[in-house]
Amino acid sequence: MVVLTVQRLRDWFLFTADLIEDKKNYLSELDRALGDGDHGVTMSIGWQAVKNKLQEFTEVKECGELLKTVGMTFLSAVGSSVGPLYATAFLRAANVVQGKTEMNDADIIEFWNAFVKGIQERGKAEVGEKTMVDFWVPAIEALRKAQGEGKDLIASLQAAEEAGKEGMLATKDMLSKKGRSSRLGERSLGHMDPGASSAHIIFSSFVDFIAKLNG
């Protein structure tokens, strides 16, 4: 069984912030084909704000408090639609681990269930509309399926990452139906959605982090 303490959860956020920073230009390059070309910068601003906040936030006692801090920090830093989406996700996740000083396998599954539900409810997007949902929904469905089949947490997370990655890659062949890129019509074909790509970075960083903890 994996045990993710509040300190390790904090470390994952710091780890992910650095990965997003490394991929900032790549994400903005993807976005230039579909939008303002600023998705990488936007994600960088949000995650660097989280990193800076958590570097000060060393005395956190429980996971719910940490996640609420992350959600509100991201929302304050990012004014575009991605800000409220991820803020809602982290705040919903905070509710399911409120008061816990560590997360076990079941808690981690509930964390991601609540996280993705928050994105879906806030964004109102469906699979096939060329958004981050095209990563998150296949990922969470695969996670639930793997758990139902009795797979351990790491195998379940890896299955979720693979399914989400397939969903992300599939956005190349989708017409954009949300946001500024929806105006492009057929010109949006052939380009991967930057939101789905940043979602993959976030989730894959978690899978890698948990695998290393268990190694």
Q: Given pLDDT bands bounded at 50, 70 and 90, which one contains residue 174? A: confident
Model pLDDT, residue 141: 98
pLDDT digit string, tens, across residues 73-106:
999 999 878 999 999 999 999 999 999 999 999 9
Model pLDDT, residue 178: 57
Least confident range of 99-103, 185-189, 199-203: 185-189
| Alpha helices (H) in the chain, listed in sequence order | 6-22, 24-32, 39-56, 63-77, 82-96, 105-123, 133-148, 153-170, 194-214
The answer to whether residue 63 scores a pLDDT higher than 60 is: yes
**Residue 177, SS3 per DSSP:** coil
The answer to whether residue 184 scores a pLDDT higher than 80 is: no
Domains defined along the chain, listed by start? 4-214 (1.25.40.340)
Task: Indicate the burial class of 154 (C-beta count within 10 angstroms; 0-12, 13-18, 19 or more).
Answer: middle
pTM: 0.93
- The stretch 23-45 carries a mean pLDDT of 91
